[in-house]
A and B are shown apart, each in its own frame.
Chain A
Amino acid sequence: MSERKDLELIASLVPPGSRVLDLGCGRGELLAHLREHRQCTGYGIEIDDAKVLACTQRGVNVIQLNLEEGLAIFEDQSFDVVLQLDTLQHLRNTESMLRETARVGRIGIVSFPNFAHWPNRLRVLSGRMPVTRALPYEWYNTPNIRVGTYADFEVLARKNGLQVLDGFGIRQGRPVRFRPNLLSSVAVFKFARG
């Protein structure tokens, strides 16, 4: 999600003036963007020391926590939007994290690499795991402990009682609404408690 256009696309889903929680906020780019362009307030959660430092340098509120330990520090519905961009696939407790996201925020927005993007499918057909811009790691050194597809998420959301408000793909910084499972490298969903 380091791409500028991806960032702007996701930011456009966040209503102006929202109170935002960004889970796995990285270096705080998105929060800074939301603050400057959409008058949002909020906090980032990050575990990595270097990224916490980068957020501090940027003047973004950052809280160093391990997301695997849950979101108990946040009250129910205390944020307008909870973002989980390029983060979900790194977590073990994916399902409880999604439910927690919907508990803490009125709206949740997730994005993750779509494993069903056609170049990935071709690569798997050829017998190898994909290495692409959205999935830039070899199978043996990837930090992504989950791989899922656009279509998989819809099933997971239903199973966890989440109401999908919107879903689309991203390819090269542009939204993909036609056959996103096949044609996009990144899956994006906006959801709320069902």
Chain B
Amino acid sequence: MGSLGHVTPASMSFDAPLPLRSGAQLSNYTLVYETYGRLNADKSNAVLVCHALNASHHVAGTYEGQPRSEGWWDNLVGPGKPLDTDRFFVIGINNPGSCFGSTGPTHPNPATDRPWGADFPVVTVEDWVQAQARLLQALGITQLAAVLGGSLGGMQALSWALQFPQRLRHCVAIATAPNLSAQNIAFNEVARRAIVTDPDFHGGHYYAHGVVPKRGLRVARMIGHITYLSDDVMEAKFGRELRAAELGYSTQEIEFQIESYLRHQGDKFSEYFDANTYLLITRALDYFDPAREHGGDLARAMAAATAKFLLVSFTTDWRFSPARSREIVKALLDNRRDVSYAEIDAPHGHDAFLLDDPRYHGVLKAYFDRIGQEVGV
């Protein structure tokens, strides 16, 4: 298996307003994206990879001069890898509202010429899919071989199947759910409150004050991180191990290794992630619920989909549990759609979807091989 080597992001600007679910619109906007592999002559080998909460368009490969800049799904996407870029043309698009280049809260609000901040309109999974569809249209891709995503990315893949049934052949949704549970929304709310109650938040207009609400972001990331791991993995990695030989009898200092790890993760995250983006993305997660417009009946919602589906879940993922994936499977079965479902017995919790598990990658490779045969690559 080779590496993609150096990759370079591209960007595309749109002047036609993007109407949003909220009723607001983005009058003009820019999307940053990356592509890997070659689009074939009949443009049938394109695969869109949708990013999850804290990721971006940078799916695979590295940036020149930045040795540790592998894309977030570099173990999956590349030459000879399960999503093989020798066969497929893979596209990663950064969603509006993000802090990685596409139009978002750090960009100027055309109405005020100041950064949008907290005034950036609330964006939904459906809005992102609309924006992605426009970019693909501009690239001349009328039908995707597949849309692939994990977690929040899986929700986008599902939304593709519902909003543009004719524009994708396959929908591959991993470690995802048809909507968030109350418990999940609760975690998001704690994260948001940590951010908005940070004294440096300034109602979301912290850019003007030359500060960022790092403390809030740290806590938000810590709580998120806890939920992405399984108890077993945390126990195996950290257990009750202490940093020092003796108990320090302090409530303020780091004593357990797990505290040190969480603070490190929180610090790292607060250095590069934008607080307003975190608020927006967690809200998009909360809102996603295709069954809502159908009286809560997911089977009726999924009736619109015509793609073939592959769903994958992980047994120790308690944030997007297998039971939630099975709800989607059931809704597809009720509609007699082509669906396959793999339930991978992996120990890593929700994070497993980003890790290199041979059973998980084996199923994806087999599935993409079939897609490749179908589209003739």
Contacts and interface: CB of A to CB of B under 8 A. Distances in A.
Interface in A53-72: 53, 55-57, 59, 61-65
Interface string B288-314: 000000000000000000000010000
B367 interface: yes
B334 A75 contact: yes
B267 interface: no
A57 B362 CA distance: 9
Contacts of A64: 341-343
- The binding surface of chain B is classed by DSSP as helix
Contacts of A43: 333, 339
A52 interface: yes
Contacts of A63: 329, 333, 339-341
- The binding surface of chain A is classed by DSSP as mixed
B235 interface: no
Interface residues of B, number: 22
A53 B333 contact: no
B370 A56 contact: yes
Contact of A49 (B340, B359, B367): B359
A137 interface: no
Given A53-B359, A63-B341, A73 B366 contact: no
B178 to A, nearest CB: 14
Interface string B310-342: 100000000000000010011001101011111
Interface in B324-377: 326, 329-330, 333-334, 336, 338-345, 359, 362-363, 366-367, 369-370
A56 B359 CA distance: 12
A135 B363 CA distance: 31
A71 to B, nearest CB: 11
Contact of B366 (A57, A74, A75): A57
B167 to A, nearest CB: 22
B17 to A, nearest CB: 41
Contacts of A62: 340-342
Contacts of A55: 340
B339 A61 contact: yes
Contacts of B341: 62-65
Contacts of A41: 336
Contacts of B329: 63, 73
Contact of A56 (B336, B344, B363): B363
Contact of B369 (A19, A57, A61): A57
B150 to A, nearest CB: 17
Contacts of A78: 333-334
B11 to A, nearest CB: 36
Contacts of A73: 326, 329-330, 333
A56 B339 contact: no
Contact of B340 (A19, A61, A74): A61
Contacts of B370: 56-57, 59
A61 B363 CA distance: 12
A173 to B, nearest CB: 30
B175 to A, nearest CB: 14
Interface in A70-85: 73-75, 78
A49 B362 CA distance: 10
Contacts of B369: 57
Contacts of B343: 64-65
Nearest to A75: B334
B342 A52 contact: yes
Given A65-B343, A73-B329, A53 B363 contact: yes
A164 B359 CA distance: 40
A53 B340 contact: no
Interface string A139-162: 000000000000000000000000
A73 B333 CA distance: 8
Nearest to B311: A63
A128 B183 CA distance: 57
A53 B336 contact: no
Contacts of B367: 56
Nearest to A41: B336
B363 A74 contact: no
Interface in A32-56: 41, 43, 49, 52-53, 55-56
8 contacts: A41-B336, A43-B333, A56-B310, A56-B367, A57-B369, A73-B326, A74-B333, A78-B333
CB-CB nearest 8 A-B residue pairs: A56-B366, A57-B366, A64-B343, A63-B341, A59-B370, A49-B359, A73-B330, A64-B342
Given A49-B344, A64-B343, 12 more contacts: A19-B336, A49-B345, A53-B359, A53-B366, A55-B340, A57-B366, A57-B369, A57-B370, A64-B342, A65-B341, A73-B329, A73-B330
